[in-house]
């Protein structure tokens, strides 16, 4: 289907991956049988201006709405129906925010592909994909403009911060082209050694990516193939087509708060608290 399909009524749609089970936080929260915790609604990362807890999903939604970077926001809850119920209640009446869920989690890519195919009217021609547990300072309008200018299938926002996990995971070559990612495992079309010969710089993933909706919709995946990942399959598919670019977010703030160590440290992390979005 063309990315200009009339079914895709919005221009830019943000998709927030919020269906994770938070297995890295097993020692912090008790787990629900079979599903783990709904980290999108259990992680209180700060406070609203009135003192009520600020859930991590609320930070992500308000940050995106505040930058006016997108036309609408889809919260992808996977099989975490607590998340779906919370979003439906918290953002009732706001037609910019909606929810998609699955009876069984299909992975970040599977959930996204399934939703785009089954509910195309919710999605714009461009998809901005975020992880709920990654807090980043990024110029979203600039990222979207970069993606449009490059006219490729996908763009990954990368970070040159040295205090991040997998700091050199992505190898970037001329014209902002991604050559290799250690996150893609066997899906890389060339070896790291070959890619290094053309590498201009190495960087970490921010977990923020932009996709052409038509590419996602037509991706070679069906539910019977099992779970699929945005970061191991979808982005790797764009790389295999020679159509994955990198947006350099420099050394701007970046935190993954979904590990035991980073979550326990978050309350006393003044840099993190300064980045949070507060309701006016």
Q: Residues in the chain, how many?
A: 280
**Range(s) of the domain holding residue 65:** 10-275
Average pLDDT in the 137-147 region?
A: 94
Cα–Cα distances in Å, from 181 out to 133, 141, 232? 21, 25, 9
DSSP letter for each residue of 11-70:
EEEEEEE-----GGGTTTSPPPTTT---HHHH-EEEE-TTS-EEEHHHHHHHHHHHHT--
Go through 106-121 and write b for each residue having 16 or more CB atoms within 10 A of its CB, e for each that does not: bbbbbbbbbbbbeebe
Tell me whether residue 2 is in a domain. Answer: no
pLDDT number for residue 244 = 98
d(Cα 269, Cα 267) in Å, to the nearest integer? Answer: 6
Q: What is the chain's Cα-based Rg?
A: 18
d(CA 233, CA 92): 34
Nearest to 41 by CA among 78, 13, 66, 72: 78
Cα 186 to its chain centre, rounded Å, is 22
Cα 63 from Cα 279, distance rounded (Å) = 10
pLDDT-based confidence at residue 36 (cuts at 50, 70, 90): very low
- Quick check: 104 and 34 in contact, CB under 8 A? no
| pLDDT tens per residue, range 180-195 | 999 998 889 999 999 9
**How does DSSP classify residue 254?**
E
For residue 217, tell me if it sits in a domain: yes
Predicted confidence at residue 182, as pLDDT, reads 94
Average pLDDT over residues 29-51: 54
Within a domain: 280: no
Question: In this structure, is residue 14 part of a structural domain?
Answer: yes
Q: pLDDT tens digits, residue range 146-156?
A: 999 999 999 99
How large is the average pLDDT for residues 256-263? 71
Q: Is 172 exposed, middle or buried (0-12, 13-18, 19+ CB in 10 A)?
A: buried
Q: What span, in angstroms and rounded, lies between the C-alpha atoms of 222 and 267?
A: 41
Percent of the chain with pLDDT over 90: 56
Total number of domains in the chain: 1
CATH number at residue 237: 3.90.550.10
Is residue 5 a part of any domain in this protein? no
State the Cα–Cα distance between residues 200 and 172, nearest whole angstrom.
6
Tens-place pLDDT, residues 45-82: 666 666 677 788 888 898 888 877 799 999 998 888 88
Residue identified by tokens 């998709």 is 15
Distance (Å, rounded) from C-alpha 112 to C-alpha 75? Answer: 10
Residue 116, in any domain of the structure: yes
pLDDT at 262 over 80: no
Q: Is residue 4 part of a domain?
A: no
Q: Which residue has the higher pLDDT, 202 or 64?
A: 202
Q: Using an 8 Å Cβ cutoff, are 232 and 143 in contact?
A: no
Kindly state whether residue 261 falls inside one of the protein's structural domains: yes
């Amino acid at each position: 289907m063309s990315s200009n399909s009339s079914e895709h009524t919005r221009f830019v749609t943000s998709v927030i991956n919020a269906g994770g089970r938070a297995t890295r936080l097993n020692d912090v929260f008790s787990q629900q049988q079979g599903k783990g915790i709904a980290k999108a609604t259990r992680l209180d990362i700060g406070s609203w201006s009135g003192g009520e807890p600020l859930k991590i999903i609320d930070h992500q939604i308000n940050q995106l709405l505040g930058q006016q970077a997108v036309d609408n926001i889809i919260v992808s809850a996977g099989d975490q129906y607590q998340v779906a119920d919370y979003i439906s209640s918290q953002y009732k009446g706001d037609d910019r925010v909606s929810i998609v869920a699955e009876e069984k989690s299909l992975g970040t890519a599977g959930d996204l592909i399934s939703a785009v195919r089954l509910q195309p009217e919710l999605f714009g021609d461009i998809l901005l994909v975020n992880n709920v547990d990654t807090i980043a300072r990024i110029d979203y309008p600039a990222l979207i403009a970069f993606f449009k200018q490059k006219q490729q299938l996908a763009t990954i926002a990368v970070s040159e911060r040295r205090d991040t996990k997998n700091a050199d995971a992505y190898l970037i070559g001329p014209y902002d082209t991604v050559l290799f990612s250690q996150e893609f495992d066997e899906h890389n079309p060339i070896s790291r050694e070959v890619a290094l010969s053309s590498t201009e710089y190495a960087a970490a993933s921010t977990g923020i990516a932009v996709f052409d909706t038509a590419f996602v919709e037509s991706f070679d995946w069906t539910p019977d193939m099992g779970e699929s990942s945005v970061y191991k399959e979808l982005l790797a598919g764009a790389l295999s087509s020679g159509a994955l670019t990198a947006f350099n977010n420099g050394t701007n703030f970046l935190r993954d708060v979904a590990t035991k160590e980073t979550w326990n440290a978050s309350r006393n992390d003044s840099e993190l608290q300064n980045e949070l979005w507060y309701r006016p």
